[in-house]
């Protein structure tokens, strides 16, 4: 077998994969930002067409044969090609038993479900969305059953798709540690006498000025706007169209200034990661983040470790003072830092404080486990959602808009994705612990020049792209397996200080 020819064949195959993914990513981005809702039927037909084309492209006997042949010459491959072929095999295993007809129907369903979810959310009517969600879960389970690669619960197969090697067993342990340390701390805070007065944040902040603040944030955090786009969508997200075209979105609410600020910082973290991956990996399967959790560790790093630090919030405050002057006249640095980090069990995940955030994820994790394990019906979902919010956060959604309808994920078929958000926080804390051995983070933030931090992240994490599986990358960087205690410790130190416990 001519080994060079095999590599050329693979490259030719991947060229089409890449061209298909580019167009699908662009079309999805477009649909979520400016594409007219009324065009959903045409758009879903087209996207279904290309999704099935991509599916078929990676699901042919010829392609599997090529991968077989490359596996046979594995010893001759570079680490990059070894990983590439491993990922190709993983993907083949994930899709080979899926009926193409099912996949087409599923692909056409998703854009419609997206619109149904938007309408349901807008009108606070879960019943608009429910039949779509049922169909999505039907397909997600069918696909996972066909390709069950992981032992035990079917949900394990879904988890593994987003986070190589992740299982219910691992996650149960993980959330156990978290809830045992977070919930008591939350109860202490609720009982504490410290009152954080953030009334000034309830006022109106004109959207135009909020847009200036968002640009200030992107600039401070060093997201390169010349190699990206910044726009708006109902739900903020980051989309990697191509290596020099990384797109972030945010959402502005006139009466929630912090929402757009921290959404922007969060998405900037995702974007900075994508913008700083090894250029040699551009336009290859390795040219993206290691996993959802590692991605989330970076968005959370820029949002929380930098964005919600007392030093950064001081800089932010002086900018806000200029932009909104009279509205911030009575706010001092300490007060603002406290406001930005105020702990309030709340309804909306994306607006949650750092402490309660993981509980929002834990709720979704439990719901997904039940939905995939047939222990919960879609019709029962809103009540169960509310019940779990009551149990863990001691708060009940006053309607589905701020309850079960808040997230876009399930409408896109993303079951098994949410846990990565919580893992991301833990990864982040563990990376920071390591970073602190090399850098004095607070001093760098204070200097106003974050480049040394970006360089550290680039050299230690970003440069690898998708070369290493997430838990391996974590170990390589931190010399340790996943340890949620770093995250818990960080939370305890930070919030005990703020709430004087």
Report the interface residues with a copy of itself, using CB under 8 A: 15-16, 18-19, 22-23, 26-27, 30, 34-39, 41-43, 46, 49-50, 226-229, 231, 241-245, 282-283
The nearer residue to a copy of itself, 50 or 200, going by C-beta atoms, is 50
Looking only at the bridges linking them, the beta strands covering 228-232 and 245-250 are: parallel
Start-to-end C-alpha separation, the chain: 68
Cα–Cα distance between 397 and 180 in angstroms, integer?
A: 24
Distance (Å, whole) CA 354 – CA 345: 11
Compute the Cα dihedral for 438, 442, 447, 453 and give only its sign: positive
Nearest alpha carbon to residue 231 among 478, 32, 376, 11: 32
How far apart CA 132 and CA 388 sit, in angstroms, is 23
Q: Smaller CB distance to a copy of itself: residue 236 or 424? A: 236
Which of 229, 439 has the CB closer to a copy of itself? 229
DSSP characters over 208-277: HHHHHHHHHHHHHHT--GGGEEEEE-SS--EEEEETTEEEEEE--BTTBHHHHHHHHHHHHHHHHHHHTS
Q: Which residue has the tokens 């998703």?
A: 110
Distance CA 247, CA 226 (A): 11
Q: How many other C-beta atoms lie within 10 A of the C-beta of residue 139?
A: 18
Can you tell me the distance from the alpha carbon of 382 to that of 397, in angstroms, rounded to the nearest whole number? 10
- To the nearest 10 degrees (0 to 180), the angle between helices 126-146 and 154-162 is 90
The nearer residue to a copy of itself, 239 or 386, going by C-beta atoms, is: 239
Q: Which tokens hold the place of 84?
A: 């590439």
Q: How far is the CB of 114 from a copy of itself (least distance, A)?
A: 15
- Residue 151 designated active-site: no
- C-alpha–C-alpha distance, residues 207 and 253, integer Å: 7
Task: State which H helix or E strand residue 108 sits in.
Answer: helix 100-123
Count other C-beta atoms under 10 Å from residue 151's C-beta.
9
> String of b and e for 83-97 (b: at least 16 CB within 10 Å)?
bbbbebeebbebbee
Give the residue from 414, 391, 395 showing the smallest Cα distance to 403. 395
SS3 of residue 285 by DSSP: coil
Nearer to a copy of itself by C-beta: 20 or 258? 20
Catalytic residue among 267, 274, 303, 492: 267
**Between residues 228 and 397, which has the closer beta carbon with respect to a copy of itself?**
228
The CB-based long-range contact list for 382-386 (8 Å cut-off, 24+ gap) reads 382/126
The DSSP secondary-structure symbol of 416 reads S
- Cα separation, 434 vs 486, in Å, equals 11
Residues catalogued as catalytic: 267
């Amino acid at each position: 077998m001519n080994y060079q020819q095999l590599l050329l064949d693979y490259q030719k195959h991947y060229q089409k994969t890449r061209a298909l993914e580019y167009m699908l990513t662009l079309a999805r981005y477009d649909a979520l930002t400016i594409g007219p809702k009324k065009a959903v039927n045409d758009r879903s037909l087209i996207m279904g067409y290309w999704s099935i084309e991509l599916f078929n492209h990676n699901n042919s006997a010829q392609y599997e044969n090529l991968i077989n042949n490359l596996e046979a010459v594995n010893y001759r491959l570079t680490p990059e090609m070894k990983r590439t072929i491993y990922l190709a095999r993983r993907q083949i295993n994930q899709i080979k038993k899926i009926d193409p007809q099912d996949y087409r129907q599923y692909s056409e369903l998703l854009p419609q479900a997206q619109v149904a979810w938007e309408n349901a959310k807008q009108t606070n009517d879960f019943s608009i969305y429910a039949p779509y969600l049922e169909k999505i879960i039907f397909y997600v389970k069918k696909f996972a059953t066909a390709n069950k690669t992981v032992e035990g619960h079917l949900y394990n197969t879904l988890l593994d798709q987003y986070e190589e090697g992740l299982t219910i067993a691992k996650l149960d342990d993980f959330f156990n540690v978290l809830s045992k340390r977070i919930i008591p701390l939350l109860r202490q805070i609720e009982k504490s006498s410290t009152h954080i007065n953030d009334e000034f944040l309830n006022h109106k902040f004109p959207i135009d000025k909020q847009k200036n603040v968002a640009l200030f944030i992107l600039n401070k955090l060093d997201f390169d706007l010349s190699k990206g786009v910044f726009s708006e969508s109902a739900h903020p997200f980051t989309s990697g169209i191509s290596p020099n075209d990384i797109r972030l979105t945010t959402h502005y609410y006139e009466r929630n200034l912090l929402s757009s600020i921290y959404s922007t910082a969060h998405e900037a973290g995702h974007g900075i990661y994508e913008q700083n991956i090894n250029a040699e990996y551009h336009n290859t399967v390795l040219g993206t983040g290691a996993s959802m959790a590692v991605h989330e560790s970076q968005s959370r790093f820029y949002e929380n470790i930098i964005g919600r630090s007392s030093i950064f919030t001081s800089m932010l405050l002086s900018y806000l003072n200029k932009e909104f002057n009279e509205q911030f006249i009575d706010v001092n640095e300490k007060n603002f830092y406290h406001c930005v980090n105020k702990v309030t069990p709340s309804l909306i995940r994306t607006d949650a404080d750092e402490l309660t955030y993981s509980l929002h994820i834990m709720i979704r994790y439990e719901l997904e486990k039940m939905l995939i394990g047939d222990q919960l019906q879609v019709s029962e979902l809103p009540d169960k959602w509310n019940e779990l919010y009551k149990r863990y956060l001691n708060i009940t959604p006053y309607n589905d808009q701020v309850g079960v309808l808040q997230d876009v994920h399930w409408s896109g078929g993303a079951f098994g994705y949410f846990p990565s958000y919580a893992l991301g926080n833990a990864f982040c804390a563990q990376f920071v612990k390591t970073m602190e051995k090399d850098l004095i983070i607070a001093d760098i933030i204070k200097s106003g020049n974050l480049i040394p931090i970006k360089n550290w992240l680039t050299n230690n994490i970003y440069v690898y792209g998708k070369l290493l599986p997430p838990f391996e990358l974590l170990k390589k960087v931190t010399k340790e397996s996943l340890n949620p205690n770093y995250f818990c410790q960080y939370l305890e130190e930070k919030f005990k200080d703020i709430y004087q416990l």
